[in-house]
Amino acid sequence: MPIRLEIVTPEKAVYADDVDMVIAPATDGYVGILPHHAPLLTTLGPGEFRVKKGGVEEVLAVFGGFMDVRGDRVIVLTEAAEPAEEIDAQRAQEARDRAQQALQAGPMSAAEEAHARASLQRALVRIRVSERRRRRL
């Protein structure tokens, strides 16, 4: 029996399908969801969101949010989610480099540092997801 997975951002529904398994980046570590999972409400951190269906694994980059598991339904509400095939690896590497340079540039306000660290983390997630896709191809 499959699990119904829906991933929604403020702009659009990114993913909706019946799947065999979900592996999500919960705030305290990765969590795997199979059919008949106990009810769960958890926050998500930035990371690789993996979906297994029929022996094939799809990977998306997610950037925080919430995951609600009830019965055989998983709903993810996230700030942003990007399927691996939509990630521009070159752009992600450039964003990583810019964020690293900003952090090494010297004194900055706490808000500027937080923004640079968040940008770095987003870029690293995109790079990891893109590299995982390349290894599968």
Residue pair 36/20 in contact (Cβ under 8 Å)? The answer is: no
State residue 105's pLDDT score: 85
pLDDT tops 90 at residue 43? yes
Show me where the domains of the chain are located: 3-84, 87-136
pTM tops 0.85 = no
State residue 107's pLDDT score: 86
Average pLDDT value for the chain = 91
Most confident of 22-26, 79-83, 102-106, 108-112: 22-26
- Residue showing tokens 């340079």: 101
Name the band, by pLDDT with cuts 50, 70 and 90, for residue 13.
very high
State residue 88's pLDDT score: 87
pLDDT tops 70 at residue 87? yes
Pair of tokens at residue 23: 């592996």
Domain 3-84 CATH (choose: 3.40.50.970, 3.10.105.10, 3.40.50.1370, 2.60.15.10): 2.60.15.10
